[in-house]
Amino acid sequence: MEAFLDALSSLGQGFLNMTWESAVMILIGCVLLYLGIGRKVEPLLLVPIGFGVILGNLPLANLSAHDSGGVLNLLYVSGILTELFPVLLFLGLGAMIDFGPLLANPVVLIFGAAGQFGIFITLLIALGIGFQQQEAVSIAIIGACDGPTAIYVTSKYARDLLPAVSIAAYSYMALVPIIQPPIMRAMTTKKERATLMPTGEKQVSQKVKILFPIVAGIATILIAPMGAPLMGMLMLGNLLKESGVVGRLVDVSSNTLANIVTLLLGLTIGASMLGGNFLTWQTILVFLLGFLAISLDTVTGMLLGKLMRVISKGKINPLLGAAGTSAFPMSARVVQKEGQRANPRNFLLWHAIGANTGGQIGSVMAAAVMLAIMNGMGIMPLG
């Protein structure tokens, strides 16, 4: 009887151990669920992240990503800290992406490069306000507008910032349709945005599409080997798609595998967002600098777009510069929408998709360059 009463007395201990930080984080988790379910903002990510935040902050549940021996800790260690989840996501992304528009108009690759300059500018700002090199690199990579790349870099050098960087990267990626248009309109005239470009889609042979991931994979990895895991899986996924002989592998990579990894990644990232290390001024700075990085990416891309318009004597619409980020395909859709708002006869999507896929390659290259710089400075990844 006494043992039974002791067991009853243990009920409700979670309420007694609830802290204000845990309560706030559970509320934040509920807000993320509302955004994902009610507002349909990146639901595939925000729903598991939001519920992971709730689970990770429930007292005595042993469901935090940092609770040694817990099931979510096992997933966090084996999937996030080993960089396995981001790498597998790039395999799925490669199986979904079409490099045809980029191959048909290779000049748009330059927009993918320009769309990464915000990363390096933000890196200098983060260092200037006192962040350590490892932290500054992890914060700046939010500007890649690519969640898996941000997680990959941060898990190597600044794991304490991983929850904030991950949420910021995915949130801003979802908010691209809100962040980019004001910048695009502020930097261009209506006449510039109304510039018509050829609407005919150039055909690219299947042989070229098959050779591209092989050649591009070898070349980019030789140039920036630190990004090999991400670039290698991206190009492998694309080769599976374009080869036309492994339909089952393409289906698994682009659907089953990508969905499972997205679920587990979101859940574990959410479960790592604990009140004690998330509700800080540092987290606010991470979000502010991440927003700055993505905004600067758009600005530098637009500046190049305006320059290309001058060089081409008015034949290139400067809006294409905004598609140089890695937010695929959101940035391309924003360019199409803004172009048609200025001129209903405008059809920029095909060109913008090319620039957007170039941005996908550019984001991995930017991350690889930053990792190489860290390595050259003698700053080794966390074990």
Per-residue pLDDT of 302-338, as tens digits, reads: 999 999 999 999 899 999 999 988 888 889 999 999 9
Structure tokens belonging to residue 296? 């600067």
Q: What is the dihedral of CA 268, 270, 272, 273, to 10 degrees?
A: 180
What confidence score (pLDDT) does residue 372 get? 86
| Per-residue buried b or exposed e for 320-341, using 16+ beta carbons within 10 Å of the residue's own CB | bbbbbbbbbbbbbbbbbbbbbe
Rounded Cα distance between 77 and 59, Å, is 21
What confidence score (pLDDT) does residue 8 get? 53
252 CB-near residues (< 8 Å, 6+ apart): none
| Per-residue buried b or exposed e for 219-252, using 16+ beta carbons within 10 Å of the residue's own CB | ebbeebebbebbbbbbbbbbbbbbeeeeeebbeb
Q: Is residue 46 scored above 90 in pLDDT?
A: no
What confidence score (pLDDT) does residue 5 get? 54
Task: Give the mean pLDDT of 179-194.
Answer: 94
Nearest residue to 335 (alpha-carbon basis) of 201, 117, 347: 347
What confidence score (pLDDT) does residue 99 get? 93
Structure tokens belonging to residue 85? 């989840």
Structure tokens belonging to residue 25? 């984080």
R_g of the chain computed on alpha carbons: 22
Phi and psi dihedrals of 207, rounded to 5? -60, -40
DSSP, collapsed to helix, strand or coil, labels residue 363 as: helix
Structure tokens belonging to residue 243? 């080869």
pLDDT band at 105 (very low <50, low <70, confident <90, very high): confident
In single-letter form, the type of residue at position 334 comes to: V
Rounded Cα distance between 337 and 344, Å, is 9
Q: How many CA atoms lie within 13 A of 367 on its CB side?
A: 32
Q: Highest mean pLDDT range out of 7-21, 132-146, 165-179?
A: 132-146
DSSP, collapsed to helix, strand or coil, labels residue 158 as: coil
Q: Is residue 202 scored above 90 in pLDDT?
A: no
189 CB-near residues (< 8 Å, 6+ apart): none
Give the burial class of 30: count Cβ atoms within 10 A of its Cβ; 0-12 exposed, 13-18 middle, 19 or more buried: middle
DSSP state, 69? T
The overall average pLDDT reported for the chain is 89
Q: Is residue 187 scored above 80 in pLDDT?
A: yes
Q: Is residue 241 scored above 70 in pLDDT?
A: yes
194 CB-near residues (< 8 Å, 6+ apart): 339, 342, 343, 346
Rounded Cα distance between 90 and 93, Å, is 5
More confident residue, 203 or 129: 129
Q: What is the dihedral of CA 128, 133, 137, 139, to 10 degrees?
A: -60
361 CB-near residues (< 8 Å, 6+ apart): 109, 112, 216, 220, 231, 234
Structure tokens belonging to residue 33? 């669920």
Q: Is residue 48 scored above 90 in pLDDT?
A: yes
What confidence score (pLDDT) does residue 297 get? 92
Does the CA dihedral 186-191-194-198 come out positive or negative? Answer: negative
Rounded Cα distance between 318 and 187, Å, is 9
In single-letter form, the type of residue at position 287 comes to: F
Q: How many CA atoms lie within 13 A of 257 on its CB side?
A: 22
Does the CA dihedral 57-62-63-67 come out positive or negative? Answer: positive
Rounded Cα distance between 97 and 254, Å, is 9
Give the Å distances, CA to CA, from 111 to 78, 265, 346: 36, 30, 19
Per-residue pLDDT of 274-312, as tens digits, reads: 988 888 899 999 999 999 999 999 999 999 999 999 999
Task: Give the mean pLDDT of 74-97.
Answer: 93
Q: Residue 145's Cα: distance from chain center in Å? A: 4
Nearest residue to 110 (alpha-carbon basis) of 334, 295, 302, 304: 304
End-to-end alpha carbon distance in the chain: 50
User: pTM for this structure?
Assistant: 0.88
